[in-house]
Amino acid sequence: MSEPELHQVAIRDVAFGERVKVVEPCNLYGCRIGDDCFVGPFTEIQKDAVVGARTRVQSHAFICELVTIGEDCFIGHGVMFINDTFASGGPARGRKELWRETVIGNRVSIGSNATIMPVRIVDDVVIGAGAVVTRDITAAGTYAGNPARLLRSRK
């Protein structure tokens, strides 16, 4: 019987801003986290991801490579960001050229258990709990459902 290759939860090679609060255990590596951010427990933020200043990331969130989150955002419990669209009919299996980026604007709130596919979301958007965002959001407002649809425009 062979032994598995073990990887420990860790915080390594992270560029932290000032006054950041992290509740462990977390797996943060190779990412940037801005000033005055909060990162809850059981969260993973992968390399090259960026979390803007004053953003709160609640527990059990997953922020993968190629995700940029703006300033003053709220990422609810269990929010999942996706960078592999299965464009080849299955997982990219290390073929990062198949991955796509996600860019979240400023003052965006994403409710618990939402799934965010590779998209762009403008400033001043609210995403409802459990929503699945499959397309770019180009107008401020409140969105919910699967797929996420505009419920109310923001004036």
95 pLDDT band (50/70/90 cuts)?
Answer: confident
Interval 14-34: pLDDT, tens: 999 999 999 999 999 999 999
11-153 under CATH 2.160.10.10, yes or no: yes
Task: Decide: residue 114, CB within 10 A, 0-12 exposed, 13-18 middle, 19+ buried.
Answer: buried
- Model confidence at 7, in pLDDT bands (50, 70, 90)? confident
The tens digit of pLDDT for each residue in 24-71 reads 999 999 999 999 999 999 999 999 999 999 999 999 999 999 999 999
- Nearest residue to 75 via CA among 58, 89, 91: 58
Q: What distance in Å separates the CA atoms of residue 137 and residue 93, rounded to the nearest whole number?
A: 28
Are the C-beta atoms of residues 100 and 86 closer than 8 Å to each other? no
Going by C-alpha positions, the residue among 140, 146, 132 that lies closest to residue 80 is 132
Question: What are the phi and psi torsion angles at 98 (to 5°)?
Answer: -90, -10
Count of helices and strands (H, E) across the chain: 0, 21
Number of Cβ atoms within 10 Å of the Cβ of 154: 13
The domain ranges of the chain are: 11-153
Q: Report the distance separating Cα 146 and Cα 66, nearest Å.
A: 23
